[in-house]
Structures are given as C-alpha cells and as structure tokens.
C-alpha cells in the first residue's frame, strides 16, 4: 500500500524534491565554495586537516574530523580540493530550508516566500502547483509540517553512511538490521541480507545495499520503510 501511494504522489513530490535540492546554495548561510574559501586560511586552494578541523562538528556526530577528512580525500594526497570538500557538506534540513524562506518569521510560508527558491529547469510543475499540492489545509500558506512533506527522502548513500557505524565501507548484518523494518514485510532482515550479499562476504557493500533497498519494480513488491527506501 505504501509503495502504491508513493507512486501516486510522485507526480508532484519528485519536482518538489528537485526544487529543494537545487535551492540549497541560496538557502544555506554559505555555499560550498564560500565555506571552502573561509576555511582555506593559507589560500592555496586546498584544505589541510588542520584547516578542515575548523568546521563545526555536529553535536550528534559519531565520526571524528580525521575520519571524515580521510573519507573525503579521494586521491589520498592529504588535502581536500573544493570538489572533495563539497561532497562532505550535508544538504540543509527541511527545518533549515523553511527558516531561510520564512522571511517575515511568522512560522508559515506564503506563496511569495515559497517561490523565492529557484525553479529547476526540468520541473514539470509550476511553483504555484507545487504549493497548492502541499497546502493540505488550504490556508494559502505552508506550515513546517506541510513543507516537510515535499522534502526529498534520504538517498541510499545517506542511509548507508548512517548505518555504517564503524565506517569500514560495508554493512555487517547487525548494522543492516538497524534499518527500520517495513510493516507487512514478508522476509526477515537476515533473509534480505543473505539474498543481496552477492559475493557471500558476510557484509553488504554500497552496490549490494542499493539493490536491497531499491530493487527494480519488476523484481518484487515492497513496502515503504519510512526512510524513502524499500526492502523486498
């Protein structure tokens, strides 16, 4: 049922998701390039570990600055380029997006405030149509709860990183079992894990995990997990 509902809603949720992602640059206090320039104390167009450690650490973070730096340093040159650094910036939360758009700070978004975000070039719906879809109580304004319904769900990559507690790049069965189990699931986490552990390594890499949570529509029927992913 949840899967069918998600498909029915996709006609307007997908454009909303795209819009929220694309207005990230103007809704956050600093763009990735601006944040990078601010941290690059010696102006050599690269961030050392010391410079990177000046980034405020989230209160609930389980990853050290050293671990995050090593993960982002794709070419292992002990420095981060702007491209590498940008990959480590989390997208703003719906709450942050809402607060930035709510220019009069009345706790609701008018259509004018909502339209302040750039519209994606390939959007199929106008901002007015998206606004109307989200305005469920027809008050001509969006509450935070209404606005959040249009926010994109976490990507499989984001879910994988969150589950990978020891940051070894793979998920053990115990880590995988932390994924909320869908209501009405017909298979146990152990069965799903074994099914998608293609190389029988006793762990799931990102590619295997993505097949488990986002199987092709023709290969099975799943139910929503509440995380924007689906388990077969």
Q: Are residues 221 and 117 in the same domain?
A: no
Q: Are residues 120 and 17 in the same domain?
A: yes
Cα separation, 112 vs 59, in Å, equals 34
Q: Are residues 197 and 110 in the same domain?
A: no
Q: Are residues 18 and 56 in the same domain?
A: no
Q: Are residues 176 and 141 in the same domain?
A: no
pLDDT of residue 53: 86
Beta bridge partners of 171: 204
| Of 87, 102, 126, the domain-final residue | 87
Give how many domains the chain has, as a whole number. 3
Q: Are residues 210 and 121 in the same domain?
A: no
pLDDT of residue 212: 82
Q: Are residues 127 and 102 in the same domain?
A: yes
Q: Are residues 144 and 201 in the same domain?
A: no
Q: Residue 206 in 3-state DSSP?
A: helix
CA distances from 35 to 25, 81, 117, 137, 152 (A): 11, 12, 21, 39, 24
pTM for this predicted structure: 0.45
CATH code, domain carrying 12: 1.10.238.10
Which residue ranges of the chain lie beneath pLDDT 70?
1-31, 57-62, 88-92, 117-123, 151-153, 214-232
Residue range of the domain that includes 79: 32-87
Task: Considering only CA atoms, give the Rg of the chain.
Answer: 20
pLDDT of residue 137: 94
Centroid of chain to Cα 40: 26
Q: Are residues 51 and 71 in the same domain?
A: yes
Task: Tell me what the pLDDT averaged over the chain comes to.
Answer: 74
pLDDT for 103-112, tens place per residue?
999 999 999 9
pLDDT of residue 116: 81
* Number of continuous H segments (helices) and E segments (strands) in the chain: 14, 2
Q: Are residues 165 and 221 in the same domain?
A: yes
Cα separation, 226 vs 232, in Å, equals 14
pLDDT of residue 90: 61
């Amino acid at each position: 049922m949840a899967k069918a509902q998600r498909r029915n809603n996709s006609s307007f949720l997908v454009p909303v998701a795209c819009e929220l992602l694309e207005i990230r640059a103007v809704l956050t206090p600093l763009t990735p390039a601006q944040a990078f320039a601010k941290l690059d104390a010696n102006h050599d167009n690269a961030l050392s570990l010391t410079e990177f450690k000046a980034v405020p650490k989230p209160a609930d973070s389980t990853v050290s600055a050293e671990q995050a730096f090593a993960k982002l340093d794709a070419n292992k040159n002990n420095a981060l380029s702007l491209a590498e650094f940008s990959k480590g910036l989390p997208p703003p939360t719906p709450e942050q997006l809402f607060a930035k758009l709510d220019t009069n700070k009345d706790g609701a978004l008018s259509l004018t405030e909502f339209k302040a975000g750039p519209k994606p070039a390939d959007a199929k719906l106008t901002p007015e149509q998206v606004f109307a879809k989200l305005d469920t109580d027809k008050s001509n304004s969006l509450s935070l709860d209404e606005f959040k319904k249009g926010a994109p769900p976490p990507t499989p990559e984001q879910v994988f990183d969150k589950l990978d507690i020891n940051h070894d790049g793979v998920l053990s069965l115990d880590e995988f079992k932390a994924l909320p189990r869908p209501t009405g699931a017909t298979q146990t986490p152990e069965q799903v894990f074994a099914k998608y552990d293609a190389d029988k390594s006793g762990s799931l890499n990102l590619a295997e995990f993505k097949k488990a949570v986002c199987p092709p529509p023709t290969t099975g029927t799943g139910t929503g997990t509440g995380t924007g992913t689906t388990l077969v």
